[in-house]
């Protein structure tokens, strides 16, 4: 191709991309269309989850030994028991809620609604972490290092939380949150910088950064940041009262301000991505770096910025957990938020509002599963299986379409699942 031709080609491409990126922010797709695949993915995931519950239940096997009918009814009751206790665990017992509403006692109502409030509490770090992954996707980057950034954010927030004393709450708490964002941002900046300057792929680098973060945390919690008189347990000192994110009600209700901070941050990210030039540039770089380069956009700067902000969001997830819930830092801070958030960002089509919905769903799932484990002895790990299946179906809508005989939508109508390559965009 001659230089002239190539320029022309790039120019056409650029126009096309710009149209697409613009259309993405203005076109009003029907809600039904956008939600169909995720909804069916969730449904299919739950059905397969039921199959797993049935096939690992001892009652079912003893039932089938007696008779076929007994086996079927045992299967049904195994699934019904688990999913109903998951539902009750996540939203509260409907009978109890109605009763409490009738009695009109404020305390009773709060207690009856607590399972749902707890689901929101569990969803909060998911919102931050999901936003981190989603922002990366929009910029064409795969941030698989949310877990490590979350740890660094938590460490930084904890340090500011316990080492500074005597500040008023309205300064100390935001300061600790900012420290958390900064901690995560540094951990996101490094792979972003490496990608922009050396082309080192962010997936490998963020995986490496994850493990460096885990080891660093281990060392800090057993060494410089260890709690005095805690023996050899790797745990940090407890943060100051002034650094805590306030909870709205008395214990055991843990619903806290962090949830609303998460919503506000989600709106901020939405505004940044879809209402500012910066966001437009970022999305163009993500959609087609070559065209973006031709248009004079600075790809390196966009990459670094995107990874840094993504890291900051992940750091907020960690800071939120420490400041609102745990009040100190321990090794087992995160139970896989980083990897789950990849699933929920895709579930939410990498859109901040979609991320909120996805996070609420995952919060409900995890909180419900915790209760389900107590009442039905089904290990909480079932939700990881569900999340993996849902992620698979969302990422490969062709499977869902084949199962439910849905016709292929017109080109461009379907949410484009981020599909970059290992070698980056050469």
- Minimum CB distance to other proteins, residue 166 (Å): 32
35, 52, 70, 72: residue in contact with other proteins (rule CB under 8 A): 52
- Minimum CB distance to other proteins, residue 45 (Å): 11
**340 belongs to the binding site for other proteins (CB under 8 A):** yes
- Minimum CB distance to other proteins, residue 197 (Å): 8
**212 belongs to the binding site for other proteins (CB under 8 A):** yes
Distance, CA of 18 to CA of 8 (rounded, Å): 15
Binding segment for other proteins (CB under 8 A), chosen from 95-103, 193-201, 274-282, 321-329, is 193-201
Distance, CA of 249 to CA of 254 (rounded, Å): 7
Distance, CA of 179 to CA of 191 (rounded, Å): 19
Q: How far is C-alpha 366 from the geometric centre of its chain's CA atoms?
A: 12
Site for other proteins in 54-113 (CB under 8 A): 56
**142 belongs to the binding site for other proteins (CB under 8 A):** yes
Binding segment for other proteins (CB under 8 A), chosen from 71-79, 195-203, 309-317, 357-365, is 195-203
Site for other proteins in 309-338 (CB under 8 A): 336
Task: Output 44 or 242, the one with its CB closest to other proteins.
Answer: 44
**417 belongs to the binding site for other proteins (CB under 8 A):** yes
In sequence order, what are the beta bridge partners of 256? 247
Task: Output 284 or 387, the one with its CB closest to other proteins.
Answer: 387
14, 121, 194, 245: residue in contact with other proteins (rule CB under 8 A): 194
**420 belongs to the binding site for other proteins (CB under 8 A):** yes
Q: Nearest CA to 61 among 71, 73, 46?
A: 71
**300 belongs to the binding site for other proteins (CB under 8 A):** no
Distance, CA of 89 to CA of 380 (rounded, Å): 13
Q: How far lies 44's CA from each of 47, 81, 98, 135, 367, in Å?
A: 5, 19, 31, 27, 20
Task: Output 205 or 308, the one with its CB closest to other proteins.
Answer: 205
Distance, CA of 336 to CA of 344 (rounded, Å): 12
Helical residues (DSSP H) of 139-166, grouped into ranges: 146-163
The C-alpha torsion from 266 through 192 and 341 to 392, rounded to 10°, is 120
Q: Nearest CA to 242 among 334, 184, 177?
A: 177
46, 167, 208, 330: residue in contact with other proteins (rule CB under 8 A): 208
**343 belongs to the binding site for other proteins (CB under 8 A):** yes
Q: b/e string for 92-127 if b means 16 or more Cβ within 10 A?
A: bbeeebeebeeeeeeebebbbbbbbbbbbbbbbbbb
Quick note: the x/- pattern for other proteins over 165-184, rule CB under 8 A, is --------------------
**46 belongs to the binding site for other proteins (CB under 8 A):** no
- Minimum CB distance to other proteins, residue 384 (Å): 3
Task: Output 222 or 370, the one with its CB closest to other proteins.
Answer: 222
299-320 vs 277-287: helix crossing angle, rounded to 10: 110
- Minimum CB distance to other proteins, residue 61 (Å): 12
- Minimum CB distance to other proteins, residue 368 (Å): 15
Task: Output 177 or 346, the one with its CB closest to other proteins.
Answer: 346
Quick note: the x/- pattern for other proteins over 375-404, rule CB under 8 A, is --xxx-xxxxxxxxx-xx--xx-xx-----
**203 belongs to the binding site for other proteins (CB under 8 A):** yes
**DSSP 8-state symbol, 247:** B
Q: DSSP letters along 15-36, please?
A: HHHHHHHHHHHH----HHHHHH
Task: Output 215 or 275, the one with its CB closest to other proteins.
Answer: 215
Q: Nearest CA to 91 among 282, 372, 412?
A: 372
Task: Output 190 or 239, the one with its CB closest to other proteins.
Answer: 190
Q: ∠ CA 49-51-55 to the nearest 5 degrees?
A: 120
- Minimum CB distance to other proteins, residue 196 (Å): 11
Q: DSSP letters along 269-294, please?
A: HHHHHHHSHHHHHHHHHHH-HHHHHH
**339 belongs to the binding site for other proteins (CB under 8 A):** yes
Q: Nearest CA to 358 among 37, 20, 23?
A: 37
200, 280, 290, 376: residue in contact with other proteins (rule CB under 8 A): 200
Query: Where on the chain is the footprint of other proteins (CB under 8 A)?
Result: 52, 56, 142, 144, 194, 198-201, 203-205, 207-212, 215-216, 218-219, 222-223, 336, 339-340, 342-343, 346, 377-379, 381-389, 391-392, 395-396, 398-399, 417-423, 426
């Amino acid at each position: 191709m001659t230089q002239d031709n190539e320029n022309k080609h790039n120019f056409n491409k650029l126009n096309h991309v710009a149209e697409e990126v613009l259309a993405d922010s203005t076109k009003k797709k029907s809600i039904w269309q956008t939600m169909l695949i995720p909804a069916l993915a969730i449904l299919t995931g739950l059905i397969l989850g039921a199959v797993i519950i049935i096939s690992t239940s001892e009652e079912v096997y003893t039932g089938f030994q007696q008779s076929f009918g007994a086996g079927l009814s045992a299967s049904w009751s195994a699934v019904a028991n688990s999913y109903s206790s998951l539902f009750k665990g996540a939203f509260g017992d409907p009978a109890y809620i109605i009763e409490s509403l009738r009695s009109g006692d404020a305390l009773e109502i709060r207690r009856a609604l607590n399972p749902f409030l707890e689901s929101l509490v569990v969803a909060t770090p998911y919102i931050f972490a999901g936003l981190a992954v989603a922002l990366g996707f929009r910029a064409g980057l795969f941030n698989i290092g949310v877990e490590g950034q979350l740890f660094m954010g938590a460490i930084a927030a904890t340090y500011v939380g316990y080492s500074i004393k005597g500040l008023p709450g309205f300064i100390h708490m935001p300061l600790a949150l900012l420290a958390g964002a900064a901690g995560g941002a540094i951990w996101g900046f490094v792979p972003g910088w490496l990608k922009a300057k050396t082309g080192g792929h962010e997936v490998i680098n963020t995986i490496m950064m994850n493990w460096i973060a885990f080891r660093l945390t281990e060392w800090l919690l057993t060494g410089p940041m260890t709690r005095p008189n805690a023996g050899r347990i790797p745990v940090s000192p407890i943060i100051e009262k002034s650094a805590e994110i306030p909870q709205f009600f008395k214990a055991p209700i843990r619903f806290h301000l962090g949830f609303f901070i998460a919503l506000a941050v989600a709106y901020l990210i939405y505004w940044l991505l879809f209402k500012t030039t910066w966001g437009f540039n970022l999305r163009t770089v993500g959609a087609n770096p070559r065209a973006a380069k031709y248009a004079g956009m600075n790809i390196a700067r966009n990459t670094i910025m995107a990874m840094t902000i993504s890291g900051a969001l992940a750091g907020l997830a960690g800071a939120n957990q420490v400041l609102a819930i745990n009040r100190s830092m321990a090794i087992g801070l995160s139970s896989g938020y980083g990897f789950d958030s990849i699933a929920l960002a895709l579930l939410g089509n990498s859109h901040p509002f979609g991320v909120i919905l996805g996070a609420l769903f995952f919060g409900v799932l995890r909180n419900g599963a915790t209760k389900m484990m107590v009442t039905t002895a089904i290990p909480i790990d079932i939700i990881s299986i569900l999340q993996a299946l849902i992620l698979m179906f969302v990422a490969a809508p062709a499977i869902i379409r084949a199962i439910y005989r849905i016709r292929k939508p017109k080109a461009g109508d379907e949410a484009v699942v981020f599909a970059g390559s290992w070698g980056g965009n050469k």
